[in-house]
Amino acid sequence: MRILVVEDEKKVARFIQRGLEEEHYTVDVANDGERGEMLALGQNYDLLILDVMLPKKNGLDLTRTLRQQRKSTPILMLTAKTTTEDKVAGLDSGADDYLTKPFAFAELLARVRSLLRRGAQEKSAVLKIADLELDTVTHKAKRAGKVIDLTIKEYALLEFFLRNKERVLSRTIISEHIWGNSFDTGTNLIDVYVNHLRNKVDSRFTRTLIHTVRGVGYVMKEE
């Protein structure tokens, strides 16, 4: 995990750098907004920690520029200001979180961890269970490396199952998610669709992933 710290107070920058390096993060430091912008645009960081008051380009403007350039790297803003308006300005500019100076290092670390976790979840576009995978960007499903062709509804159903692994899903929950609230759950349409999906996902394999829960609905899990 690589983190860029943009902070002009050298003592504070060193304090953050040392602390993060002790936690095994790789840390680069820039002491003004322009240098920070150059590094943030040129390198792939997992997180940016930006001070608001910076020489050459302040943290708010820097954040706006990065977001305009479609850099979605999580940003933690460090601010000496404590009024609500300033916090709102920080978040409005595109920052993900802020921390008011002075702060305890433990709190900085907790926020860093939380932002990195969030970023990792957004990046992992592939949902998996056993040897089944679904790429939520390309909409391709594969089992044991072989592509499975899915209709739009089957795709939606499979994605819903994968996002709720190990969770028993009632027919009502499934129908609300896939068809919206207008759907009449008295029909067996859900069962029909689940069976179509099973034929494609499970029938040719020894390990079953979609299981019926009698009287309730379905669950996707490894046995």
Q: Between 46 and 51, whose beta carbon lies closer to Ca ion? A: 51
Q: Which residue is nearest to Ca ion (CB)?
A: 53
Q: Between 64 and 221, whose beta carbon lies closer to Ca ion? A: 64
Q: Between 35 and 143, whose beta carbon lies closer to Ca ion? A: 35
Q: Between 7 and 159, whose beta carbon lies closer to Ca ion? A: 7
**Contact footprint for Ca ion (CB under 5 A):** 8, 51, 53
CB neighbour burial string for 6-45, b if at least 16 within 10 angstroms, e if fewer: bbbeeebbeebbebbeeeebebbbbbbbebbbebbeeeeb
Q: How far is the CB of 8 from Ca ion (least distance, A)?
A: 5
Q: How far is the CB of 53 from Ca ion (least distance, A)?
A: 4
Q: How far is the CB of 54 from Ca ion (least distance, A)?
A: 6
Q: How far is the CB of 181 from Ca ion (least distance, A)?
A: 51
Q: How far apart are CA 195 and CA 120, in angstroms?
A: 33
